A and B are shown apart, each in its own frame.
Chain A
Amino acid sequence: AQSVTQPDIHITVSEGASLELRCNYSYGATPYLFWYVQSPGQGLQLLLKYFSGDTLVQGIKGFEAEFKRSQSSFNLRKPSVHWSDAAEYFCAVGSGYSTLTFGKGTMLLVSP
């Protein structure tokens, strides 16, 4: 069965510092991988996605993620965090032939 692990429940980062959110997945075939962001009381917004090709993908709001097949990971990064990035971030795995499975989320707090 497919699964996603986000090891960090909460992360606190100073404004202007770099960010990396971890995601590990389990999937039997070539996965589609996603990062979504959710602001309080809102729905989910897609940040970026990976299907194939270049393993470093660029997303909206200055985010990027790198797919590492050997480590079954798809970590999200941002070089300089802004206060408006405070939100909950979800990694998800799926494909055209399966359902979409989410991790439990990582809450990002940004300190001044």
Chain B
Amino acid sequence: NAGVTQTPKFQVLKTGQSMTLQCAQDMNHNSMYWYRQDPGMGLRLIYYSASEGTTDKGEVPNGYNVSRLNKREFSLRLESAAPSQTSVYFCASWDRTEAFFGQGTRLTVV
């Protein structure tokens, strides 16, 4: 049982480049989340998906897009990366009683 799997684990982008962070869960949960973690800021919600086919903005959605491809997969896309998007990104799967986290993606935008 893998839980929540994120890829890649590390990524360096140049300003203006695009990329997609992948997330998959094998727990059959309806809800999935994308957070970013910055020093002293805790985890801030970027986007979430309460169920397959739905997505909603969180606290810090600007510069990001998401796709809930199916019940298992929830991807986060940066269309034109900016240095302010340097962060650690976490995907989570939520069964309404507990959130299960991936190991994170450390993204640096130079």
Annotate A68-109 by CB proximity to B: 1 below 8 A, 0 otherwise: 000000000000000000000010101110011111110000
Contact check, A96 vs B96: say whether CB atoms are below 8 A apart: yes
The yes or no answer to B61 lying at the interface (CB within 8 A) is no
Stretch at the interface among A11-19, A40-48, A56-64: A40-48
Are A43 and B33 also in contact (CB < 8 A) when A49-B98, A90-B43, A100-B99 are? no
Give A9's nearest chain B residue, CB to CB. B40
Known: A102-B42, A102-B43, A103-B42. A46 touches B90 (CB 8 A): no
| Number of A-B residue pairs at CB separation under 8 A | 49
**A32-B97, A96-B96, A96-B97 known; A43-B102 Cβ under 8 A:** yes
19 contacts between A and B (CB under 8 A): A6-B42, A32-B97, A34-B99, A42-B104, A43-B90, A43-B103, A49-B98, A51-B97, A90-B43, A92-B99, A96-B96, A96-B97, A99-B45, A99-B58, A100-B45, A100-B99, A102-B43, A102-B44, A104-B40
CB within 8 Å of B: which residues of A? Answer: 6, 9, 32, 34, 42-44, 46, 49, 51, 90, 92, 94-96, 99-105
B contact residues vs A (CB 8 Å cutoff) = 33, 35, 40-45, 48, 58, 90, 92, 94, 96-99, 101-104
